[in-house]
Amino acid sequence: MNLRRLFFSVILLAGCSISVIAQQTVSGVVTDSASAQPLAGATIRATGTNAATATASNGSFSIKVPAGVETITVSSIGFKTQEVRIGSTPINIALVGTAGSLNEVVVVAYGTRRKGDLTGAITSLTAKDFQKGNITSSDQLLVGKVAGLQVTSGGGSPGGGSKIRIRGGASLNASNDPLIVIDGVPVDNNGLAGSSNFLNTIDPNDIESVSVLKDASATALYGSRASNGVIIVTTKKGQAGNVKFNFNTQASLSNVPKTVPVLSAAQVKKIITQYADSTGDNNYVDLLGNANTNWQDLIYQNAFGTDNNLSASGSVAHIPFRISGGYNNQEGILKTDKFSRVSTAINLSPKFFDDHLAVNLNVKYSHTHNNFANQGAIGAAVSFDPTQSPYATNKYGGYFEWLQANGNVIGTNGSAADPNPLGLLNINDDISNVDRMIGNIQLDYKFHFLPDLHLLVNLGLDRAWGQGHHYIDSTSSIAKYKGGIFTDYQQGKSNVLSDVSLLYNKELNKDVKFDVLVLHSYQDFFSNVYNVPNYNQSGQVDSTTIPTYKTDKPEYRLESYLGRINFTLANKYLLTASLRRDGSSKFSPSTRVGYFPAGALAWKLKDEFFKNSNVLSDLKLRLGLGVTGQQDGIAYYSYLPVYYQSTSTAQYEFGSNYYYFLRPTAYDPNIKWETTTTSNIGLDFGFWKNRISGSIDFYEKKTKDLLSVVPIAPGANFDITLLTNVGNMTNKGAEFTLNLIPVQTKNVTWNLNFNISYNKSKITNLLKNPDPSFTGIDVSNIAGGTGNTIGKFAVGYAPYSFLVYKQVYDQKTGKPIEGLYADLNRDGQITDADRYYYKKPAPDVLSGISTQVTYKQWSLGLAGHASFGNYLYNNFYSNSGVFRALQNPLHYIQNVSVDYLNTNFSNNQYLSDYYIENASFFRLDNINIGYNAGKVFHDAASLSITANIQNVFVITKYRGLDPEVSNDQGIDNNIYPRPRIYSIGLNLNF
């Protein structure tokens, strides 16, 4: 393994003068960039002509090039085709393997490896594999593309974040997010004030590849942060040679594919009138208006967006570089929502001292600007009375509001109970600016006296600064009681990394190769938090919001040592063994150090048993075992006994003076990370020169010392629950990936990629002293009532399993009978003990499929993903599908879901299994059509044009708006609709 090869995977002769002779003979050698071995049988064609030849067994070629042709095209199956400008001959060309090719170089933890030599469960994607279309945030590139990886966007907000899960997540209360590493720098993905998604600060156009590390043998090098998998993002590098430009631009139009089905104005009117007629109670019928307002239509819009990226790559003064600039501007389909980003990425990769010192410098900077719409308008529009017209003459900005007799809005704490959605959107000034710079410099020094020994240094810095304000004018129904609510905020974050390592790489003879890495790593995460009070329209400070502390500086550090050995025997047996030692400031001196070992073995069965087979091109067995940890999501100082001062609104009066509180916090001095042991067995296969290739993996993850908030004896500590290491859970699963090239002819290529994965999570223990009467921990708060929960962490069940009453249905009509549940324990009464476990939010099976057909210059692609066995709690139906919601007890009318027509429930039946719905689905994410126009502008440039439709359709039985919900709890409450996006793009190379 050699870091240099990543950065110099393409070696081109630098600097050239274009010859203008009539015909010339060009010669050179073609090699495999990964192995540096000569490549036989590669095709060399004078670009745009029929003149062609093939390389000899030593990789050499010689071709006569007609006049006027300035480049040759070099291609070979399994490699990326390259177009090389003819300079001085001979030309040496190193071809880079494509996905599916065993020679492809894959970025792994602390290095790179040939795909054929991988020992762990790793999937690598490059630009051609990514989701296509108008993609604002890089997490969306991966949707449906990797077996065992689930990426679920939080909704349709531009630039919004996603839930990312690899193999289901290994934790209950700590984070289940994977570790994200950008160009070798593990980044803090916990967000920043003013940023809706920390990953949207990276321009997807600048991303070269993404590696998804799934099993412990692949991730354990990241030690205490690796239990949920690792995603390594590598950005594009400069390619030596003449300076080439690439311009990529897209324009998109987004619309709302579907709104929440609610009652019409006529239906609302009818139901309320009937009630008044039958009861004589005219309290509500008097409130009805005469309008027919579709509130959801009023808050959504067709949204435009553009995405532009211009990059230049080549060499200047023998220094390979790449520089790019991007501008993205995206409106939200919710009115007033807007995201824009200006970004730049610079990469320099010079070499010094006869190539003994390779330097790779990356600087990525972005400025994002958000206009956040008040997303409360979504729920408000769904439930606002359709018989009212949007506007009225009142003191709330001219928007109709439900008023009391005294002219104030109905509601508690002075805020409106059901505010006008347009008022929420329009009387709202919520903007933020986020600046982020991620820079790192990597040095690879090959010792002069011992070239097999490398000194590798990676110094990284990730700095981010978010600031913004949220101003709600005093005319707003939600802010009038305070005379307007004005908030300013800012936060800074920085993350410093220093990795220093020695790599010894030795090929003893043809059969024995090994490399050894030892590394020291130090990383510091630091935040600057500023707390400021709110103020009102006239600038008066809201005394109840005066912070106790004006600033805070949370910080955590990690210091690590690691060692790794890769050993290859006879090019058939591959062994990897590693050990990482992590020390974390989050834990006490006695518990802060942990060791994370891992080992993996790969056996190239193809070379052992089928060496001469023409059918079988790859067969490799992989076995991996490793231990990882998880400490993300744990408070920084939770092992320390500390007292905190209260806020100004939490004081007590003695005499006539008020005194702040000092309160001790509950703490566990022995807290430490969660530990996950993962075993993985995998088989990689390929047939017919990998026209059919794929892999199959089986895994088991066992997590112990789960960080759980568990009940503790009252009086034993300063709380009744404590975050401590108790509990175990397991994840078991299988993954299957298949890549097919069913057709590959001169004019037509058809690619088909399919993946499917199965995962089952189960909690196996939650208590220090197992107690059969312990029923578990209530989780998953729902909207409606106070403190109602629908889910459980319970032994023997998947996390967040739903615990519900079994609904009884009318046998004649099939309708649920209100409040009637099965008496499951047959004690004659319906109590909490009659609730039963029914389904869970996490899917059993995830699948992704994508296909691309290329015919001459045209291409057509489809990509979709599916999820099976995932259930949702339809909280919108349970909270809003009842008569009580229609005639709100606070004396106003709300619209309700059409489910009311099915149930006719008068009161909420929150805990009925009626509201647990199968949310399995298939979503066609993308249809794209491309046309490669080839040379344009008198051959000065090459052009391709694409057209995309994203979020084409969803097939599901789920009755709510969208079966894909990004919370782990599986609770659906009117998400921001995911838009359907139509876009056209243009890509110009010159």
Partner 1 sequence: MKNKILIPALAYLIIVFAASSCAKKLDLSPENALTPANVYSSADGYLGVLAKIYGTLSITGNQGPAGSPDIGGGLDEGSQVAFIRGFFNCEELPTDEAIVAWNDQTIHDFHNLSWTSSDPFLRGMYARPIYNITLMNEYLRESTDDVLAANGITGADADNIKETVGEVRFLRAYNYWVMLDIFGKSTFITEQDQVGTSLPREISRDSLFLYVESELLDIQNTLAPAKTAEYGRVDQAACWSLLARLYLNAEVYTGTPRYTDAVTYAKKVIDAGYSLHSNYSQLFMADNNKWNDEIIWAINCDGVNTQAYGNTTFLVHCASGDDHDQYGVAGGWNGYRATQGLANLFPDLSGASDSRALFSTSSFGTSESQIQISDVSDFNNGLHVKKFINIRSDGAATSDPTNTFSDVDFPVFRLPEMYLIYAEAFLRGGAGADAGTALQYLNAIRARAGASALTSGDLTLQTILDERGRELYWEGFRRTDLIRYKLLTSNTYLWPWKGGVPSGTAVDDKYNIFPIPTANITANINLTQNQGY
Q: Which of residues 401-460 bind partner 1 (CB under 8 A)?
A: 404-406, 408, 410-414, 443, 445, 455, 457
Token pair, residue 87, equals 């300079």
Name residues whose C-beta falls within 8 Å of residue 476's C-beta, 6 or more positions apart in sequence.
396, 397, 419, 423, 424, 427, 428, 484
Is 544 a binding residue for partner 1 by CB under 8 A? The answer is yes
Token pair, residue 63, equals 């071709």
Q: What DSSP letter does each residue of 840-867 carry, written as one string? A: -SS-SEEEEEEEEEEETTEEEEEEEEEE
CA distance 269 to 287: 10
Closer by beta carbon to partner 1, 498 or else 749: 498
- Closest approach of Cβ 892 to partner 1, in Å? 11
- Closest approach of Cβ 667 to partner 1, in Å? 8
The alpha carbon torsion through 622, 628, 632, 635 (nearest 10 deg) reads 170
**Residues 95-154 close enough to bind partner 1 by CB under 8 A:** none
Closer by beta carbon to partner 1, 38 or else 376: 376
Token pair, residue 841, equals 């939010």
**Residues 654-713 close enough to bind partner 1 by CB under 8 A:** 654-656, 658-665, 667-669, 709-713
Nearest to 929 by CA among 132, 14, 10: 132
- Closest approach of Cβ 941 to partner 1, in Å? 38
Binding footprint of partner 1, residue count (CB under 8 A): 108
**Residues 557-586 close enough to bind partner 1 by CB under 8 A:** 557, 559, 583-585
8 Å CB contact between 327 and 315: no
CA distance 56 to 210: 34
Q: Using CB under 8 A, which of the segments 313-321, 374-382, 389-397, 825-833 binds partner 1?
A: 825-833
For residue 367, give the H/E element and its range.
Answer: strand 357-371
Closer by beta carbon to partner 1, 288 or else 666: 666
Closer by beta carbon to partner 1, 539 or else 714: 714
CA distance 879 to 897: 9
- Closest approach of Cβ 379 to partner 1, in Å? 19
- Closest approach of Cβ 661 to partner 1, in Å? 4
Binds partner 1 (CB under 8 A): choice among 321, 396, 556, 915: 556
Find tokens 């494509």 and name the residue: 98
Q: Using CB under 8 A, which of the segments 183-191, 243-251, 544-552, 848-856 binds partner 1?
A: 544-552
Closer by beta carbon to partner 1, 90 or else 641: 641
End-to-end CA distance of the chain: 34
Is 496 a binding residue for partner 1 by CB under 8 A? The answer is no
- Closest approach of Cβ 910 to partner 1, in Å? 8
Name residues whose C-beta falls within 8 Å of residue 599's C-beta, 6 or more positions apart in sequence.
217, 575, 576, 577, 578, 624, 625, 626
Token pair, residue 963, equals 């079966």
Find tokens 């020992």 and name the residue: 119
**Residues 582-611 close enough to bind partner 1 by CB under 8 A:** 583-585, 589, 592
CA distance 706 to 664: 24
Closer by beta carbon to partner 1, 354 or else 745: 354
Binds partner 1 (CB under 8 A): choice among 35, 259, 548, 571: 548
CA distance 98 to 101: 5
Amino acid 313 reads S
- Closest approach of Cβ 660 to partner 1, in Å? 6
Q: Using CB under 8 A, which of the segments 149-157, 216-224, 555-563, 700-708 binds partner 1?
A: 555-563
For residue 376, give the H/E element and its range.
Answer: helix 376-383
What does DSSP say about strands 662-664 and 643-645: parallel, antiparallel, or unpaired? antiparallel
**Residues 314-373 close enough to bind partner 1 by CB under 8 A:** 352-353, 357
**Residues 851-910 close enough to bind partner 1 by CB under 8 A:** 884, 889-891, 907-908, 910
**Residues 611-650 close enough to bind partner 1 by CB under 8 A:** 636-637, 640-650
Is 555 a binding residue for partner 1 by CB under 8 A? The answer is yes
8 Å CB contact between 15 and 319: no
Q: Using CB under 8 A, which of the segments 92-100, 112-120, 828-836, 977-985 binds partner 1?
A: 828-836
CA distance 950 to 981: 5
**Residues 758-817 close enough to bind partner 1 by CB under 8 A:** 767, 769, 771, 773-775, 777-779, 781, 784-789
- Closest approach of Cβ 551 to partner 1, in Å? 7
Closer by beta carbon to partner 1, 584 or else 690: 584
- Closest approach of Cβ 827 to partner 1, in Å? 11
Q: Using CB under 8 A, which of the segments 545-553, 699-707, 744-752, 980-988 binds partner 1?
A: 545-553
Nearest to 583 by CA among 593, 570, 597: 593
- Closest approach of Cβ 611 to partner 1, in Å? 45
Name residues whose C-beta falls within 8 Å of residue 835's C-beta, 6 or more positions apart in sequence.
803, 804, 805, 911
